Amino acid sequence: MTETAAVARKRHPWRIAWGVFGAVVLLLVSIGGVYAFTLIRTFDTQTEKISNAFPADSVRPPAAPAAGSTAVQPTPEPGAATPAPVAAPTTPAQNILLLGSDTRGATDRDLAGIRGERSDTIMVVHVPADRKNLYVMSILRDSWLEIPGHGTAKINAALSWGGVPLAVQTVETLLGVRIDHVAVVDFAGFKGVTDLLGGVDISNPIGFESYHLKGHYFQEGALHLNGTEAMAFARERYAFADGDFQRVRNQQLIIQAVLVAIMHKSVLADVGKTTSLVSSVTPYLAVDEGLTSAYLTGLAWELRAVREPEVEFFTMPTNGTGTSSDGQSIVNIDWSALAAVQNGFKTDTLGAYQPEVQTMG
């Protein structure tokens, strides 16, 4: 079962689920001068670079229309007139893939060439051409689909089997749109960031006994979490009847709390603390070679007018859970509902999409 779209379509303050990656972007555009230059240089020198982040161009969807070309128009309703083509904006829409890997130290900072690790978090950030909104879609890691060249499997297997290029190709095939940039985040970095902030505050919707932090109970209501507790809270799924669905919602709570804490004026005004935050984040990031501080600061400048009412987070449509032919517990994709999402990405009209809260069904 799902909640109505009217209830589900909530707007969240900078809850774009970029995690520590998004925190870097916000920090870079909140400061200036030599201080900003130092932090920008830290970002560029300390983040790992993914030299071959994308699949072969021959298997990829076309890029967004370039400036001054004819833009793709929304698919009209049956019986409606086809809208006239218009000139594409000077800034084409962008799609950024975020892969969260809870490596638990297994990769020893080799995030750029990561294999053998399944992506725990998969999110696609859509930046529309007019830069007036932001849309972020979370993809449940157990979503069952075709992995190019490997047959049907859970979507998180793509990163394990073929590294970042196969993960990108899988998402591009799923949505029918090109991914412009990609970042891999080791969420182990959350622990240090949270502790540097002095902990974070959340409102826990469901009390539960922690599987990852033995003997600890996360009570319902207001909580102040340190780094270790925040990691355990975000990783939990065994305690919930809703499993990974509630896990995703809890991850969003932690990400929101971290971003709110980072953006507090007392943090941004503290040069030492902000520098420490950026330095603690970047070792846990791997990005494609085009995802530089220059790109991020330029994008953030274009998005400077975006505030709370214009940022939306939703989850890819699902049709409950099930079991694969080989006995795996999986999440079924709602392919019929997904068609509207695909069209929204392709035509840069996600604002017209009415999402619903996803549950086990």
* CATH class of the domain comprising 11-56+90-195+276-346: alpha beta
Please, what is the end-to-end C-alpha distance for the chain in angstroms? Answer: 5
Residue 144 in 3-state DSSP?
Answer: strand
Asked if pLDDT for residue 340 goes beyond 70, the answer is yes
Q: Are strands 134-139 and 121-127 parallel, antiparallel or unpaired?
A: antiparallel
Q: Exposed, middle or buried, 29 (CB in 10 Å: 0-12/13-18/19+)?
A: middle
Confidence category of residue 353, pLDDT binned at 50, 70, 90: very high
Mean pLDDT is lowest, of 2-16, 102-116, 338-352, for: 2-16
pLDDT at 345: 96
Read off the pLDDT of residues 293-302 as tens digits, 9 standing for 90 and up.
788 778 877 8
Alpha-carbon distance 5 to 280, whole Å?
A: 39
Q: Which two tokens stand for residue 301?
A: 């400048």
Q: Which residue in the block uniquely carries the two structure tokens 């340190």? A: 226
Read off the pLDDT of residues 180-215 as tens digits, 9 standing for 90 and up.
999 888 777 778 888 988 999 999 999 999 999 999
Residue 303 in 3-state DSSP?
Answer: coil
Rounded to an integer, the average pLDDT of 50-73 is 76
Pair 17, 124: CB distance under 8 Å: no
Q: What percent of the chain has pLDDT over 90?
A: 38
pTM, to two decimals: 0.79
Alpha-carbon distance 353 to 136, whole Å?
A: 12
The per-residue pLDDT of the chain, averaged, comes to 79
Confidence category of residue 72, pLDDT binned at 50, 70, 90: very low
pLDDT at 79: 59
Q: How many other CB atoms are there within 10 angstroms of residue 191's CB atom?
A: 18
pLDDT at 327: 94
Q: How many other CB atoms are there within 10 angstroms of residue 237's CB atom?
A: 16
Rounded to an integer, the average pLDDT of 242-247 is 88
Give me the phi and psi of 2, to 5 degrees please: -130, 155
Nearest to 175 by CA among 338, 42, 49: 338
pLDDT at 40: 74
Confidence category of residue 81, pLDDT binned at 50, 70, 90: low
